[in-house]
Amino acid sequence: MADVRRVISILVENESSVLSRVSGLFAGRGYNIETLTVAPIPDTNRSRITIVTKGSKRVLEQITKQLHKLIPVYKVVEHEEMVEKEMVLVKFPIDEKLADIQALCQAYNGGIANVGADMIIGMVTDEPCRIKHFVEATKRYNPIEIVRGGVVAIER
Amino acid sequence: MKMSGARMVCEALIAEGVKTVFGYPGGAIMNVYDEIYKQDGFEHILNRHEQASVHAADGYARATGDVGVAMVTSGPGFTNAVTGLATAYMDSIPMVVISGQVPLSLIGTDGFQEIDAVGISRPCTKHNYLVRDIKDLPRILKEAFHIARSGRPGPVLVDIPKDITAQIGEFEYPKSVNIPSYKPTTKGNKRQIDKAVEAILKSKKPLLYVGGGVVLSNASDLVRKLANMGGIPAVETLMARGVMGADNPLLQGMLGMHGNYSSNMAMSETDLIISLGARFDDRVTGKLSEFAKYADIIHVDIDPANISKLVDVDYPIVGDVSIVLEKMIDGIEGKINPDRYSDWRDVLDKYDNLHPLSYEDSDEVIKPQWVIERVGELIGEDAVITSDVGQHQMWTAQHYPFDRPRQWINSGGLGTMGFGFPAAIGAKKGCPDKIVINFTGDGSILMNMQELVTASEYKIPVINIILNNNFLGMVRQWQSFFYDSRFAETDLSYQPDYKAVAEACGGIGYTVTTKEEFDKALKDAIEKNRVAFINVAVNRFENVLPMVPAGGALYNMILADKTKEK
């Protein structure tokens, strides 16, 4: 069976060991994590964990079922129709063409996040595949450091 | 009412109806032991190793169906308990293990006897807790018991720092549990059950595939009822021995790697598997692509993750086997009669006549299978049988005439050597009126032999029958079959004097080399009513047969012994 990419959204009780339960399950059962994002859900005692994973249909089904078995897990949403966004920060040397960098960031719905004495930081938030393209496009400007965030997603 | 955390632990155990706790004290759990000293609501058994405490609690749970309870200290006390937790986890045994932990202020500082118990036990418990506030302690204890026994049962660890057991807090034991994120499905989907019933009524060669979940759900009577209503043949997994009853003509036997011929052929030829509380383990299915090729599958399991995990299922039903079976039987009643599948049963009878489960007995040397059958003849259903892991375990599962569920206790999923003796101690505490016998080997028995002292001190008269072939037998068998008889580190000829060891620890020992001696020893051990070792010299090179080589198709069994060693 061919591997499929899937975004899984997990609603959990906001307690200290819950992330290790989720990530340990992936590690112990040999499931793959491409990105992982966690943050509390406002005005509740719950958190949302968003994981991008890859696997065969059977593996993806097992991931959902095994996650459900964890006691502090309320809900597992595994949906094809998700709106996904990912963020990336890129640090460039100040002697690169600043106008070009700014134009590039804007082309990907981003901008300049910070400018210092010897560097400039661009920021882009977009769909994961567009982030990949953006990162590729930055290469000609000799990026010093690239920091990608994990995917966050919401059901359409 | 105000009381210490330690006292809360005792009060909670009493409120849960716990009668026996198996454990071993140490620094971080001392506060709780001080309260155990002062109470008389439950008995505490001091095993001589934490692993044995957890196996004993496990054996108690398997024999009675109640939640087993063990108590250990932090650090090495806890790490010794891990094998016991994993054993119970793999076989879905309800258990609560309470461990001491270093005080909250020392957690994370590499304190004396500190270890991350919650981290280590996460993959081998159903759930675990580190108590961080005494206010949470009563709720956590209540939840631990609830989680252990509900849904798919399993072990739960409660790790309690020493300062929490010392603190004073308000104790009111909750009457009910509310965990919004934990609501196991038990009832089974009505439409799916109806469809399954239709499938059974259409089937020409149905087969009940009975697993350990039936024992856990106390559904044996219902399984027998369904089988009898339709004359539906049944096969049992290792964990389900006793469900159908040895004399039941519908029972083909045990299936899988060491299943008998007609059971494995039944599975290979059936057109409808009715799987009840079984999980298609690799030791059952053999090569997956060849497994039950002609069958549709009804899979009843309380754990949705078991369904379509390894084998695609046509009629998935998530629910408690008992509840689902009641509905299934309602749906089938009156629409089926016991003659319906007689052609199919005839086929299976022919298979059984062709290659019945058998062994070649001998007058010169005791055959291990003979010992097991002999105990079955002499004690039969008056016994609770435990075993360790290896050849003796398979022979017991094949040859003992199990008549009822919970009569057969063994480590199926994890395959833990050293399980049998402490589990027998737990089973005897749970079933004091039964004769408890542990079939073991000369490899396994050494792994928890210190329990002779426990059993002697508390007068727990379990009988250990050591089927002694001077080998780590099952590994030796694989070496004979698959490694050209290179017996790497499996020759156990260097042995202790088992009789002397038993007697040195306050038990009674027997050395047996003939059938007559065996009968006498068993009778004497039962009469003396003391913990016993019966060391039986058995045929060295006996193999467990039939055998499906690992990864082979279920219908390709090794039936005759062609190995050169005799």
pLDDT of residue A149: 93
Is the pLDDT at B564 greater than 90, yes or no?
no
CB contact under 8 A, A71 and B130: no
DSSP 8-class letter at B238: G
CB B498, CB B511: distance < 8 Å: yes
User: Would you say residue B110 lies in a domain?
Assistant: yes
User: Would you say residue B566 lies in a domain?
Assistant: no
Count the domains in chain B.
Answer: 3
CB B213, CB B281: distance < 8 Å: no
Partner residue facing B122 (CB), from A24, A62, A68 = A24
Share the mean pLDDT of chain B: 97
User: Would you say residue B182 lies in a domain?
Assistant: no
CA B124 – CA A29 distance, rounded (Å): 12
β A152-155/B95-101 pair status:
unpaired
Using one digit for the tens of pLDDT, what is the confidence trace for B58-104? 999 999 999 999 999 999 999 999 999 999 999 999 999 999 999 99
pLDDT of residue A81: 83
> Given CB atoms, is B176 within the 8 Å cutoff of chain A?
no
Provide mean pLDDT across the span B405-414. Answer: 98
- What distances in angstroms separate CA B170 from CA B134, B141, B144, B167, B173, one per listed residue? 9, 14, 19, 10, 10
pLDDT of residue A156: 84
Chain B contact set for A68 (CB, 8 A): 304-305
Statement to judge: residues B216 and B136 lie in one domain: no
- Which structural domains are found in chain A, ordered by start? 4-80 (3.30.70.260), 83-155 (3.30.70.1150)
β B127-130/B68-72 pair status:
unpaired
CA B233 – CA B250 distance, rounded (Å): 5
pLDDT of residue B373: 98
CA B403 – CA B243 distance, rounded (Å): 7
CA B162 – CA B117 distance, rounded (Å): 14
Provide mean pLDDT across the span B162-180. Answer: 97
Using one digit for the tens of pLDDT, what is the confidence trace for B293-341? 999 999 999 999 999 999 999 999 999 999 999 999 999 999 998 889 9
CA distance A14 to chain B (A): 12
CA B25 – CA B4 distance, rounded (Å): 18
pLDDT tier, B562 (very low <50, low <70, confident <90, very high otherwise): confident
Statement to judge: residues B312 and B204 lie in one domain: yes
CATH code of residue B237: 3.40.50.1220
Identity at A121, one-letter amino acid code: I
User: Would you say residue B260 lies in a domain?
Assistant: yes
CA B531 – CA B436 distance, rounded (Å): 10
CATH code of residue B26: 3.40.50.970
Q: How far is CA B432 from the centre of its chain?
A: 19
CA B503 – CA B500 distance, rounded (Å): 5
Statement to judge: residues B109 and B86 lie in one domain: yes
Instruction: Report the residue count for chain A.
Output: 156
The tens-digit pLDDT sequence of chain A (156 residues) is: 689 999 999 999 999 899 999 999 999 999 999 999 999 999 999 999 999 999 999 999 999 999 999 999 999 998 778 899 999 999 999 998 889 999 999 999 999 999 999 999 999 999 999 999 999 999 999 999 999 999 999 988
Structure tokens at B213: 């979940």
Q: Which residues lie closer than 8 Å to B484 by C-beta, 6 or more apart?
A: none
Structure tokens at B185: 């499905």
Helix (H) or strand (E) holding B523: helix B515-528
pLDDT of residue B355: 97
Q: How far is CA A47 from the centre of its chain?
A: 16
Helix (H) or strand (E) holding B284: helix B282-285
CB contact under 8 A, A61 and B308: yes
Is the pLDDT at B284 greater than 80, yes or no?
yes
* Final residue belonging to a domain, choices B139, B170, B201: B170
Provide mean pLDDT across the span B520-547. Answer: 97
CB contact under 8 A, B304 and A24: no
Statement to judge: residues B199 and B306 lie in one domain: yes
Query: What residues are paired with B274 via a beta bridge?
Result: B208, B298
Statement to judge: residues B272 and B300 lie in one domain: yes
What b/e readout covers B98-127, taking b as 16+ CB neighbours within 10 angstroms? bbbbbeeebbeeebebbbbbbebbbebbbb
Alpha helices in B460-497 (DSSP H): 473-482
> Given CB atoms, is B308 within the 8 Å cutoff of chain A?
yes
B113 is catalytic: yes
CB B353, CB B400: distance < 8 Å: no
CA B84 – CA A90 distance, rounded (Å): 50
Angle, helix B30-38 to helix B5-15, in steps of 10 degrees: 60
Cis peptide before B546 (omega within 30 of 0): yes
Q: Which domain holds residue B293?
A: 190-354
β B95-101/B68-72 pair status:
parallel
Query: What residues are paired with A37 via a beta bridge?
Result: A50
Identity at B394, one-letter amino acid code: M
Provide mean pLDDT across the span B352-358. Answer: 96
User: Would you say residue B117 lies in a domain?
Assistant: yes
Options B71, B267, B449, B474, the catalytic residue:
B474
pLDDT of residue B125: 98
Statement to judge: residues B79 and B154 lie in one domain: yes
Structure tokens at A40: 């509390």
Provide mean pLDDT across the span B352-375. Answer: 97
Statement to judge: residues B334 and B372 lie in one domain: no
Q: Report DSSP letters for A78-132, one per residue.
A: E-S-EEEEEEEEEEEETTS-HHHHHHHHHHTT-EEEEE-SSEEEEEEEE-HHHHH
Identity at B179, one-letter amino acid code: I
Statement to judge: residues B521 and B389 lie in one domain: yes
Options B126, B162, B428, B429, the catalytic residue:
B162
Statement to judge: residues B281 and B404 lie in one domain: no
CB contact under 8 A, B309 and A62: yes
Statement to judge: residues B237 and B163 lie in one domain: no
Structure tokens at B45: 């058994």
Using one digit for the tens of pLDDT, what is the confidence trace for B224-260? 999 999 999 999 999 999 999 999 999 999 999 999 9
Query: ipTM of the assembly?
Result: 0.91
